[in-house]
Amino acid sequence: MSCSQTQAKLTRGEALDEAERDHALACSECGALAASWATLDATLAELDPCVPEGFADRVMAKIGREVEQRRGDEARAPRPRWYERRWAGVLLSSAAALVAILNVARFVACVLVPVRSFGGAP
Amino acid sequence: MEDAALVRSILEGQEDLFRVIVVRYERALFRFLGRFGFTPAAREDLAQETFLRAFRALASFDAARGSLASWLFTIARNLAADERGRTRHQPAVAALDAAPEARSEGDGPAELHERAEVRERIRCALAGLPDALHSTFVLAEIGDLSLKEIAAIEGCALGTVKSRVHRAREQLRAALGATEKSR
Residue A122 has pLDDT above 70, yes or no: no
Residue A13 has pLDDT above 80, yes or no: no
Nearest chain A residue (CA) to B101: A46
Q: How many angstroms separate the first and last alpha carbons of chain B? A: 51
Can you give the pLDDT at residue B105?
55
Q: Do B115 and A46 touch (CB under 8 A)?
A: yes
Q: Mean pLDDT, to the nearest integer, of A60-76?
A: 87
Q: Mean pLDDT, to the nearest integer, of A89-118?
A: 85
pLDDT in tens, B110-148: 777 877 887 788 888 888 888 888 889 888 888 778 888
**Over pLDDT 90: what percentage of chain A?**
26
> Rounded distance, CA B21 to CA B73, Å?
13
Q: Do A43 and B119 touch (CB under 8 A)?
A: yes
Find the chain B residues whose C-beta atoms sit closer than 8 A to any C-beta of A.
15-16, 18-19, 22-23, 26-27, 30-31, 33-35, 40, 43-44, 47-48, 51-52, 55-56, 99-100, 102, 115, 118-119, 122-123, 126, 141, 162, 165-166, 169-170, 172-173, 176-177, 180
As to burial, measured by CB atoms within 10 angstroms (0-12 exposed, 13-18 middle, 19+ buried), residue B79 is middle
> Rounded distance, CA A8 to CA A18, Å?
16
pLDDT in tens, B5-15: 899 999 998 88
Give the residue, A69 or B114, on which the prediction is more confident.
Answer: A69
Which pTM does this prediction carry? Answer: 0.70
Q: Do A55 and B26 touch (CB under 8 A)?
A: yes
Q: Do A44 and B162 touch (CB under 8 A)?
A: no
Under the banding of pLDDT at 50, 70 and 90, the label for residue A20 is: confident
> Rounded distance, CA A12 to CA B105, Å?
32
Can you give the pLDDT at residue B98?
47
Q: Do A55 and B22 touch (CB under 8 A)?
A: yes
Closest CA to B39 of B93, B105, B108: B93
The answer to whether B114 touches B102, Cβ cutoff 8 Å, is no
Rounded to the nearest angstrom, the gap between the alpha carbon of residue A29 and the centroid of all alpha carbons in its chain is 48
Can you give the pLDDT at residue B145?
85
Q: Do A46 and B51 touch (CB under 8 A)?
A: no
Q: Do B173 and A40 touch (CB under 8 A)?
A: yes
Residue B74: in which H helix or E strand, if any? helix B68-86
- A contact test, residue of B12, B44, B50 with most A CBs within 10 A: B44
Rounded to the nearest angstrom, the gap between the alpha carbon of residue A56 and the centroid of all alpha carbons in its chain is 23
- HEC string of chain A? CCHHHHHHHHHHCCCCCHHHHHHHHHCHHHHHHHHHHHHHHHHHHHCCCCCCCCHHHHHHHHHHHHHHHHHHHHHHCCCCCHHHCHHHHHHHHHHHHHHHHHHHHHHHHHHHCCHHHHCCCC
> Rounded distance, CA A20 to CA A1, Å?
7
Can you give the pLDDT at residue B130?
85
- Name the residue facing B22 among A36, A44, A59 (closest C-beta): A59
**Over pLDDT 70: what percentage of chain A?**
91
Closest CA to B49 of B6, B82, B4: B82
Nearest chain B residue (CA) to A39: B176
Residue A15 has pLDDT above 70, yes or no: yes
C-alpha distance from B148 to closest chain A C-alpha (Å): 16
Query: Cβ contacts of residue A62 below 8 Å, gap of 6+?
Result: B48, B52
Can you give the pLDDT at residue A56?
93
> Rounded distance, CA A17 to CA A33, Å?
16
Count Cβ–Cβ pairs < 8 Å, chain A vs chain B.
Answer: 94
Nearest chain B residue (CA) to A53: B44
> Rounded distance, CA B141 to CA B34, Å?
11
Which of the listed ranges A41-50, A103-112, B13-22 does the model predict with the highest average pLDDT?
A: B13-22
Q: Tens of pLDDT along chain B (183 residues)?
A: 788 889 999 999 888 999 999 999 999 999 888 888 788 899 999 999 999 999 999 999 888 888 899 999 999 999 998 888 887 666 544 444 444 545 555 567 777 787 788 778 888 888 888 888 888 988 888 877 888 889 988 889 999 998 998 888 888 888 777 655 555
Closest CA to B63 of B140, B145, B7: B7
Can you give the pLDDT at residue A120?
55
Can you give the pLDDT at residue B89?
60
Find the chain A residues whose C-beta atoms sit closer than 8 A to any C-beta of B.
11-13, 36-37, 39-40, 43-52, 55-56, 58-60, 62-64, 66-67
